[in-house]
Amino acid sequence: MKLGLMQPYFFPYIGYFQLIQAVDSFIVYDDVAFIKQGWINRNRLLPLHGQPVYFNVPLKGAGSFQKIRSIEIFDDGRWRPRLLKMIQHNYKSASYFEETFPLIKDLILTEEQSLSGYNLCIMRGIAGHLDIGTDIRYEPDKYQWLESALAAEPSALKHKYAEAGYASESKVIRILEICKHEGADTYVNAIGGQALYDREIFCRSGVALLFVNTLPYQYDQRSEAFYPHLSIIDVLMNCGRENTKKMLCGFTLI
């Protein structure tokens, strides 16, 4: 069984959805620290004839040592309409605006105060729109025991892994333990994970490690230059549902 696990990103890029499509089961995991300037509450869009700009969800005092699962959205009643107006202004001339905007509007207007819950609704909405059949799971309390075991001083779990010569880092042990408890023989990660995870260490634990390698792609962004890896919103607005579904297959597992 192929397992994927990622933090809940905000309107993520197409590679995130390729990862979901590439696995049998996908776990949204938020029992880890929030990282500022990451992709949990922001992403990028492309203004007409411009350069990529960030758009974001305002948060209630989120800090770098705060767990993602505890972060709430700061809802002043204005940011959602402002974001929709910005998207409408910049994409109203896009080829698939009429097809895509109603979906994006419904997702942005989702009344959810938890950042994780909000992003989960967005991810499931986009995945459903693209006919991705993978089960997107969110079980926030299931692995609290694991986080407690990793945080313990001294940590018997870390000692067990280190003694067996498997791993010593929490991020590696976390994945190996979850794979064991989920019955996964293969763990699939985003390509950026190549800098974090060692294939040999996973192999010693009986888990194959693969990475989603997004193949080069390009589409008309109505701009002079092409900017890859923008939010899925940009892809859907310019390519539409059917073409985006085809682009989802543009990856290899390495």
Burial 98-133 (b: 16+ CB within 10 A, else e): eebbebbeebbeeeeebbbbbbbbbbbebbebbebe
Over range 194-212, report the average pLDDT. Answer: 94
Please write the tens of the pLDDT for every residue from 44-62.
Answer: 999 988 899 999 999 998 8
Over range 65-70, report the average pLDDT. Answer: 92
CB count, 10 Å around CB of 188? Answer: 23
Over range 23-31, report the average pLDDT. Answer: 98
Confidence of residue 113 (pLDDT cuts 50, 70, 90): very high
pLDDT of residue 48: 84
Please write the tens of the pLDDT for every residue from 124-157.
Answer: 999 999 999 999 999 999 999 999 999 999 999 9
The domain limits of the chain are 2-142+215-253
pLDDT of residue 166: 79
Return mean pLDDT, the chain. Answer: 95
CB 50 within 8 A of CB 224: no
Confidence of residue 3 (pLDDT cuts 50, 70, 90): very high
- Residue 37: left if φ>0, alpha if ψ -120 to 50, beta else—which one? left
